[in-house]
Amino acid sequence: MPAPFLIGAHMSVAGGLHCAIDHAVRHQFTCVQLFTHSPRVWKLPQFTEAAATTFQTARRNAGIQCVVVHAPYLPNCASTDTTLRARSCAAIAHDLRIADAIGADYFVMHPGSARGATPATAIQRVADTLLQVHAAHPWRCTFLLENTAGGGTLLGASFDELHAIIRAVRHAAPAARLGICLDTAHAHAAGMDLCSDTGIAAIFNTLIHTVGMDALRLIHCNDTPVTCGAHRDLHAHIGRGRIGARGFQLLLAQPRLRALPWILETPKDTARSDTRNANLLRQWFALGAR
């Protein structure tokens, strides 16, 4: 039997973490991504063993194969401000404890912003902060750094930068618990060509020579209205942006990508938006099997 398509979306946890599973079930998803709390507040969320058990039971009953926790937006592991960095470390460690308690497979974080520092210094700072996070909570899930749209002082637009961070943390956390998440909208905004065979081959080639192909563990599948290389982070419905049907069809024809979990972070204009976006990807996944 051919491997199933691992598809899901970022879901709300209003009402409790297990509500994300309920939403995923409604769309017949096999994966789900969530924030443990509002990503734009610092207050560390309350969390109980009972909530973890409820989540794990809901997940088992729903047959969800992959759970991803996305880090909140406020922490910045690259900050030059030591107080902010310490706060970021505490917030990320707390979130990782929750991710492990609910049995999440992956934890995804953006590397951060390097204002007032050279990229090399900022990368070292992210690595040092992650080592402190690991000392505070040696995570059991796999920690993924997400590629970003780049621009300004934002780190992580290239696999080179993600690789430099991972290399500096690898002695503490095993390679199996470190990797990267490829966000298609961010990659396009960062100047990567997802819309041609040669463009995708070039991306794979860079991956192989930096983090390694095995480090790629998760896809954030988002279309985007911005032009390639515009360094702007805007997400669009699948097939309605610049990556378009052709880009996603090409990506879903790649055996290495077909085996990974795909998470939608596309607009939720209506209750059907996620289903519509997922159904297009499901169709193209089926096409790619031929």
Where on the chain is the footprint of Zn ion (CB under 5 A)? Answer: 146, 183, 220, 265
Note whether 126 and 145 are within 8 A (CB): no
* Least CB distance to Zn ion at residue 106 (A): 12
* Least CB distance to Zn ion at residue 34 (A): 12
Cβ atoms within 10 Å of 208's Cβ, excluding its own: 12
* Least CB distance to Zn ion at residue 184 (A): 9
Is 92 in a helix, a strand, or coil?
A: helix
Cβ atoms within 10 Å of 56's Cβ, excluding its own: 16
Closer to Zn ion by Cβ: residue 58 or 105? 105
Q: How far is CA 105 from CA 10, 48, 139, 199, 267, in A?
A: 14, 19, 11, 30, 24
| Residue (of 20, 34, 23) closest to 273 by Cα position | 23
Closer to Zn ion by Cβ: residue 39 or 174? 39
**CA 50 to chain centroid:** 27
* Least CB distance to Zn ion at residue 162 (A): 13
Closer to Zn ion by Cβ: residue 58 or 92? 92
* Least CB distance to Zn ion at residue 218 (A): 9
Q: What are phi and psi of 221, to 5 degrees?
A: -100, 100
Q: How far is CA 211 from CA 127, 168, 175, in A?
A: 15, 12, 10
* Least CB distance to Zn ion at residue 146 (A): 5
Closer to Zn ion by Cβ: residue 58 or 243? 243
Closer to Zn ion by Cβ: residue 183 or 193? 183
Separation CA 66–CA 204 (nearest Å): 24
Q: Which residue is nearest to Zn ion (CB)?
A: 220
Closer to Zn ion by Cβ: residue 32 or 58? 32
